[in-house]
């Protein structure tokens, strides 16, 4: 993998992945990051990398649905591997406006696969990053394995399921060398503050209410983002081509317990001046339509075949995450005010 095309590298996990590959891993090649820079993509995240690694990091603003732009990137940078993070990723947005999810997640993945097929003489790997949500919802027991039938419940998870099927089909039909990973809920630095954990951290710091959907008993399986990024890299290097690998933290928590724990850490790290607990800010609001009850990943295939295990516990990962948001108030301010998107439009033009 000399020239790795990473899509969606300006988003939360893509940023973590590029930082991990260039700063902490044994990857020796060059990364070409193609990102459309939607509301969720932020070039600020990699500005230091762009400066310090000009030979090993290239950024191109482009849409994965654009065949000409992707073909051009393949030819200009002699792409020999792809890691596809680009997606519309937020379930609540997919309920309100599913169109972009169908376009980016399904058509965009299809376009990447087609361009990869046309350049398959050089391609050593197409890795597709996906989600445990394709498996649907668990009851109170059991785990998702790689053999669990797909049963997606939201427009987001349905669009990711469709993209997984396309990737698998390109391996079966055209022998494209692919791997797929399906991961549980991530948290950590650079996460856009619409997702549960960063939203709760920033609301709590501002003394705003902490809105929990329904009764707060829905369960998610949490994984620190850097552990996910390391798993993706291990699969890219050593995973069997044509196979799927589940990634998870073995860290199941009901949402109310997650938020309560977060409030406890905030009370310790940034105590309120009136000494009341951040827990007092918790409010229960109307449930998400079609809200999946429980996700829990069995990641024993990844552990056994590739020797991967998470490094962070939920407590160490949450502490690091809170500290990151405290230390990066400038990043938060630019996100919340929309300043970074205004900068992107001035810098790259508005192609919306
Ligand atoms: P994100 O929303 O933070 O980032 C998505 C990135 O993709 C952004 O930089 C955005 O600008 C870019 N993008 C969107 N549409 C594009 C297009 N048409 N062309 C090019 N770039 C485009 O998402 P994330 O949380 O970093 O998730 C990354 C991937 O990991 C997604 O495929 C998601 O389904 C998957 N995943 C996420 C989680 C999680 O907990 N966040 C867990 C498992 C899997
Ligand atoms: O499981 C992997 C998936 O995790 C990824 O594929 C998605 O891209 C990612 O967004 C995430 O999906 P969720 O819907 O689980 O994440 P979210 O942070 O939106 O919500 C986590 C849980 O918290 C979920 O049960 C809904 C609940 N929630 C969320 C928000 C934003 C609340 O109770 N209140 C909130 O304000």
Rounded-to-integer distance, Cα 77 and Cα 21, Å: 18
- Residue 350: what pLDDT? 61
Asked if residues 126 and 114 have their Cβ atoms less than 8 Å apart, the reply is no
- Residue 175: what pLDDT? 98
Name the superfamily (CATH) of residues 3-188+223-251+295-313+338-348: NAD(P)-binding Rossmann-like Domain (3.40.50.720)
Rounded-to-integer distance, Cα 200 and Cα 193, Å: 8
Best residue among 6, 13, 73 to mutate for probing ligand 1, ranked by most atoms within 8 Å of CB: 13
Domain ranges of the chain: 3-188+223-251+295-313+338-348
- Residue 223: what pLDDT? 98
CA 344 – ligand 1 centroid, Å: 18
Query: What is the value of pTM for the model shown?
Result: 0.98
Catalytic sites, residue numbers: 132-133, 156
Instruction: Return all residues near 112 (Cβ < 8 A) that are at least 6 apart.
Output: 7, 64, 70, 82, 84, 126
Residue nearest to atom 19 of ligand 2 (CA): 195
C-alpha distance from residue 95 to each of 52, 159, 197, 214 (Å): 40, 12, 20, 16
Rounded-to-integer distance, Cα 53 and Cα 218, Å: 42
* Segments of 106-147 assigned E as strands: 125-131
Q: Token pair of 296, please?
A: 């829990």
276 torsion bin: left (phi>0), alpha (psi -120 to 50), beta (else): beta
| Atom number, ligand 2, closest to the C-alpha of residue 183 | 2
Pocket lining: 183 vs ligand 1, CB cutoff 6 Å: yes
Best residue among 196, 216, 293 to mutate for probing ligand 2, ranked by most atoms within 8 Å of CB: 196
Residue nearest to atom 33 of ligand 1 (CA): 89
Q: Give pLDDT tens digits along the chain (352 positions).
A: 999 999 999 999 999 999 999 999 999 999 999 999 999 999 999 999 999 999 999 999 999 999 999 999 999 999 999 999 999 999 999 999 999 999 999 999 999 999 999 999 999 999 999 999 999 999 999 999 999 999 999 999 999 999 999 999 999 999 999 999 999 999 999 999 999 999 999 999 999 999 999 999 999 999 999 999 999 999 999 999 999 999 999 999 999 999 999 999 999 999 999 999 999 999 999 999 999 999 999 999 999 999 999 999 999 999 999 999 999 999 999 988 887 777 777 777 765 4
CA 195 – ligand 2 centroid, Å: 6
- Residue 348: what pLDDT? 77
Pocket lining: 295 vs ligand 2, CB cutoff 6 Å: yes
Pocket lining: 196 vs ligand 2, CB cutoff 6 Å: yes
Pocket lining: 192 vs ligand 1, CB cutoff 6 Å: yes
CA 40 – ligand 1 centroid, Å: 8
């Amino acid at each position: 993998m000399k020239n790795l095309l990473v899509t969606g590298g300006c988003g939360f996990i893509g940023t973590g992945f590029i930082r991990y590959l260039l700063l902490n891993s044994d990857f020796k090649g060059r990364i070409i990051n193609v990102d459309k820079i939607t509301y969720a993509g932020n070039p600020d995240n990699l500005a230091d990398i762009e400066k310090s690694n000009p030979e090993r990091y290239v950024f191109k603003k482009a849409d994965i649905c654009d065949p000409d732009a992707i073909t051009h990137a393949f030819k200009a940078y002699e792409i020999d591997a792809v890691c596809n993070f680009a997606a519309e990723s937020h379930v609540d947005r997919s309920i309100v406006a599913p169109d972009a999810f169908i376009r980016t997640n399904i058509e965009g993945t299809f376009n990447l696969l087609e361009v990869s097929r046309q350049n398959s003489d050089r391609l050593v790997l197409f890795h597709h990053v996906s989600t445990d949500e394709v498996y649907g919802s668990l009851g109170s027991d059991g785990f998702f394995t790689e053999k669990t039938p797909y049963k997606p419940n939201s427009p987001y998870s349905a669009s990711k399921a469709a993209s997984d099927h396309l990737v698998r089909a390109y391996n079966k039909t055209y022998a494209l060398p692919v791997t797929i990973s399906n991961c549980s809920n991530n948290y950590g630095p650079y996460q856009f503050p619409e997702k549960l954990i960063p939203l709760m951290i920033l609301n709590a710091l501002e003394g705003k209410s902490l809105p929990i959907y329904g009764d707060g008993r829905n369960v998610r399986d949490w994984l620190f983002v850097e552990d996910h990024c390391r798993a993706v890299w291990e699969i890219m290097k050593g995973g069997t081509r044509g196979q799927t690998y589940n990634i998870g933290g073995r860290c199941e928590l009901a949402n109310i317990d997650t938020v309560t724990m977060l409030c406890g850490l905030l009370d310790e790290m940034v105590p309120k001046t009136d000494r009341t607990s951040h827990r007092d800010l918790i409010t229960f609001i109307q449930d998400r339509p079609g809200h999946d009850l429980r996700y829990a990943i069995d990641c024993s295939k990844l552990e056994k075949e590739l020797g991967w295990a998470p490094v962070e516990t939920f407590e160490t990962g949450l502490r690091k995450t809170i500290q990151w948001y405290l230390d990066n108030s400038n990043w938060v301010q630019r996100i919340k005010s929309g300043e970074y998107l205004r900068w992107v439009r001035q810098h790259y033009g508005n192609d919306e």
